[in-house]
Amino acid sequence: MKRIDPIVSEKTFTLTNNATGETYDLPVLEGTIGPQVLDIRALYRDLGIFTYDPGFTSTASCDSGITYIDGEKGILKHRGYPIEELASHSDYLDVCYLLLYEDLPSPEEKEQFNWSITHHTMLDDQLMTFFRGFRRDAHPMAIMVGIVGALSAFYHDSTDIYDPMQRMLASHRLIAKMPTIGACAYKYSIGQPFIYPRNDLSYAENLLYMMFATPSEEYQVNPIFAKAMDRILILHADHEQNASTSTVRLAGSSQANPFACISSGIASLWGPAHGGANEAVLNMLGEIGTSENILEFIERAKDPSDPFRLMGFGHRVYKSFDPRATVMKETAKEVLNELGMVDDPLLEIAQELERIALKDEYFVSKNLYPNVDFYSGLILKAIGFPTNMFTVLFAISRTVGWISHWKEMIGDPDNRIGRPRQLYTGEAHREFAHVTHRKHTKKPIWSWLWGGKKNES
């Protein structure tokens, strides 16, 4: 499929300088669907001014044909396919192929792709020794950032970003090796031996097998868990220009190798405002403890002087509902039902919290709805994952989204290094003073550091 360039609309948008009366016409670009975009690329060159948009709330940083979101209507599509249909009828590797190669695979393509992913799941044996360098209590996301970054030191035959074959090899390696790395991080943290991947298992089954099997006994993957895992992977596979994807694109725009770029995406995903939210949801539900305490937490979330937020609520883009949350809620009920956990106290608290918040004027007026993370943690907990692994699983599924955006960007002839500008608000000019002539009235907050007696170990 050919890349579709944005259309330059016949319409223009006119800026008027109220002081001088001068006008300036901005071109308007149109995609296939979605809002029109003002093309401001020549603004600084022609007028000497920048635009100001912290958090990029009104800025399209690129054009992309991978994912479309309509936040007002709660629509999410990958390459034109609604997420609900993909979640119901596809498996994760189908969706990976779709994101990477622009179309769903034919039976032959599916077989070849599955073979390639399955046969790249192992890690270089020397890389296995890296895990032992981490403390046992290291957060698995810290291990992920380190090990994925270290892949660049092992797979030199897939770091030339200008060679399409090397780009493909790096993409397949990353998708294939992420579950192995995530499972090893977990096994290391609990002191169990690493479990090697099995080629007769599907992607989701292999992930569960490497996580939960031990060498001492037969392990059967629960098919309900495998189906739920596959659906969670699909629902998190891509979400257009979110913080971690934009991080990967920005890192890649400097021509950094793909392993380093994906490592930067993992770092960005780690934060509780992004991928760390499902871990935070479960911690919050545990803290709430019983339904009687819900109102107290709702009041805290509404209090502007309290930093507490309802985790799993709100989204930068979705302002009516998050379509992934709808599928996730159903999956949570299916899994908990199958396990005979319909009366799970955390599920009860979650449902009650959602019910109360959706009627509350504060949440309604600010368009705050449950997002994908609100229910995913409950499913993962039921399967047996510890909370600190939740973001790792998110990173595993999002790797295909990151790598698809990276690949799209490298193939874009308009790609340039990302370099935002700023509105400078610091000192305009100062005369240099020798250290003996400097006087500071404020004691630096880090002064306690030099009070220490010894080097930190």
The answer to whether 373 is a known catalytic residue is yes
232 binds ligand ACO (CB under 6 A): no
Give the gyration radius of the chain's Cα atoms. Answer: 24
> Does residue 231 touch ligand ACO according to CB under 6 A?
no
Is 366 near ligand ACO (CB under 6 A)? yes
Is the CB of 175 or the CB of 310 nearer to ligand ACO?
310
Nearest C-alpha neighbor of 161 from the set 151, 176, 171, 172: 171
Q: What are phi and psi of 72, to 5 degrees?
A: -75, -40
- CA 101 – CA 104 distance, rounded (Å): 8
Q: How far is the CB of 423 from ligand ACO (least distance, A)?
A: 19
Nearest-approach distance from CB 322 to ligand ACO, in angstroms: 7
Q: Report, in Å, the least distance between residue 378 CB and ligand ACO.
A: 14
Catalytic residue chosen out of the listed positions 373, 412, 429, 440? 373
Confirm or reject binding of residue 266 to ligand ACO (CB under 6 A): no
Q: First and final CA of the chain: distance in angstroms?
A: 55
Copy the structure tokens of residue 176: 């294939």
By CB under 6 A, which span of 195-203, 366-374, 378-386, 431-439 interacts with ligand ACO?
366-374
Residue closer to ligand ACO, measured from CB, 27 or 272? 272
Q: Is 316 in the site for ligand ACO (CB under 6 A)?
A: yes
Helices (H), 75-199: 83-89, 92-101, 107-118, 125-131, 140-150, 164-189
Which CB atom, from 313 or from 390, has the smaller least distance to ligand ACO?
Answer: 313
Six-digit token string for 211? 């996580």
**CA-CA distance, 341 to 445, in Å (whole number)?**
50
Buried b (16+ CB within 10 A) or exposed e, 109-138: eeeebbebbbebbebeeebbebbeebeeeb
**Residue 407 found at the interface with ligand ACO (CB under 6 A):** no
273 binds ligand ACO (CB under 6 A): yes
b/e sequence 225-248, b meaning 16+ C-beta within 10 Å: bbbbbbbbbbbbbbbbbbbbbbbb
Of 84-92, 223-231, 286-294, 308-316, which part binds ligand ACO (CB under 6 A)?
308-316
Does position 313 bind ligand ACO by CB under 6 A? Answer: yes
Write the CA distances from 136 to 142, 188, 207, 220, 417, integer angstroms: 11, 7, 21, 27, 38
Q: Which of 309, 319, 321, 345 binds ligand ACO (CB under 6 A)?
A: 309
Mark out the alpha helices in 199-276 (DSSP H runs).
203-212, 223-235, 243-253, 258-269
Establish if 354 lies at the interface with ligand ACO (CB under 6 A).
no
User: CA dist 436 to 308, 316, 433, Å?
Assistant: 46, 50, 8
Q: How far is Cα 179 from Cα 197, in angstroms, rounded to an integer?
A: 9
Give least dist CB 390 to ligand ACO, A: 11
- Kindly state whether residue 315 participates in binding ligand ACO, applying the rule CB under 6 A: yes
DSSP state for residue 243 in the 8-state scheme: H
Q: In Å, what is the CA distance from 119 to each residue of 114, 215, 263?
A: 8, 21, 22
Cα separation, 136 vs 129, whole angstroms: 14
**Count of residues that bind ligand ACO according to CB under 6 A:** 18
Q: Can you tell me which of 238, 279, 354, 373 binds ligand ACO, judged by CB under 6 A? A: 373
Nearer to ligand ACO, 316 or 333 (CB): 316
Other Cβ atoms less than 10 A from the Cβ of 47: the count is 13
> Which one, 166 or 404, has the nearer CB to ligand ACO?
404
| 325 contacts 84 by C-beta, under 8 angstroms | no
Q: Choose, by CB under 6 A, the member of 171, 371, 391, 399 that binds ligand ACO.
A: 371
315 part of the active site = yes
Side by side, the strands of the sheet bearing 7-16 are 7-16, 23-30, 37-38
From the list 86, 87, 248, 310, which residue makes contact with ligand ACO (rule: CB under 6 A)? 310
Of 193-201, 272-280, 411-419, 436-444, which part binds ligand ACO (CB under 6 A)? 272-280
Of the listed 172, 315, 322, 405, which one is catalytic?
A: 315
In the bound state, the residue with its beta carbon closest to ligand ACO is 314
Judged by CB under 6 A, the residue of 368, 379, 380, 393 near ligand ACO is 368
CB under 6 A: which stretch of 130-138, 146-154, 226-234, 368-376 binds ligand ACO?
Answer: 368-376
Nearer to ligand ACO, 274 or 381 (CB): 274
Indicate the residue among 269 and 383 with the shorter CB distance to ligand ACO: 269
Q: What is the distance between the alpha carbons of residues 175 and 402, in angstroms, rounded to a whole number?
A: 10
Q: Which stretch binds ligand ACO (CB under 6 A): 91-99, 136-144, 313-321, 385-393?
A: 313-321
Q: How far is the CB of 135 from ligand ACO (least distance, A)?
A: 28
Interacting residues with ligand ACO (CB under 6 A): 273-275, 277, 301, 309-316, 366, 368, 371-373
List, by residue number, the catalytic residues: 315, 373
